[in-house]
Every structure is written in C-alpha cells, then in structure tokens.
Amino acid sequence: MATPERAGRRNATATAIATNRWGPYSGAGDFAGNMAIILASLLAALALALALHAGVRCLLRRRRQRRGLDDGDEDPEKPPVAEEPAPPPPPLLVYSASGTRLAGAGAHECAICLAEFADGDAVRAMPACAHGFHARCIERWLAVPAAASCPTCRAPAAAPPQP
C-alpha cells in the first residue's frame, strides 16, 4: 500500500512534467517555424556567396582587360614569332613482313590507328627511333607542330644530326 508521503511525490512529479515548457517535442508549429528560419538563412548565404563570386570574377576580368591580356591582342612592341615549319616526313617504305625491320614490341602494327601492317602498305619509319607507322597516320600526326615527335617514344621527328 502506498503511503501518503509517496503519493504526494507522484503528484509533484506529474505536476512538474505537465508544466515543463521545454518538453522533448513541443509541436509541429515550432518545427515549421524553425525550418523556415534555417532555410531562409541557407538561401541568404547562398545568394551572398554567388554575389561575391560574381563580383570577384568581374574585378579580375577588368584587371585582365586593363593589362591587355583578355582581348588576345599581342604587344605591338614585340614582333610576332614565326612558327617552326613541320619537319619533313620520314622516308616512305613498302611494308613486307619478312623484309621490313621496325623497332618496338608492336612492330607489326601502327601505334596511331592500331591496325596491323599488311604486305604492300605504305609505311614510314621515324629516323631517330625506327618506330614504324602507316604513312597516312604519321603524316597527320606530324602535321600538328606540337606533336613533332614519335607517338610511341616521343623521340624528335627530325633525323639526328650526322657526325
């Protein structure tokens, strides 16, 4: 049987819980209000970051334009530098499986188009390294001035100087 003293404690505890304003969950209305504040804060921060990014880009663009780097105009004091002419293509050979000696482990296929050489194919061997390629493939490769090297080993396309 419960003593009157214990019964009073239960009532005091129940009253304390019922009057607690900061319970574990106070209602959906408070949650929606808090979520609206959080979302508004995030959107404002995003807008501020985008505005700051756009401002920095604008300032940097103006700075480059003042220096003359943005519009592609060359400095009028410096004469334009002529590009080096492409090296002449390597000598033309007629491929035969038994007679043509080409360097590399994959000497029986073109490293550019990855097709195997057939007897009678027009092949060019690089003078510096002896890697072989279809004539059509290596001519296209060497037409680009920045690629004036062997596609396999990057040796220079020009023949090495004779001693």
pLDDT digits (tens, 9 = 90+) for 99-156: 777 877 667 888 888 888 888 888 988 888 888 889 898 888 888 777 778 888 888 8
Q: Where are the domains of the chain?
A: 46-72, 92-147
Q: What is the third-level CATH fold of 92-147?
A: Herpes Virus-1 (3.30.40)
C-alpha distance across the termini of the chain, in Å:
118
pTM of the model: 0.45
Strands, E assignment, the chain: 92-94, 122-125, 132-134
CA distance 123 to 133: 6
Beta bridge partners of 149: 156
Write down the pLDDT at residue 162. 53
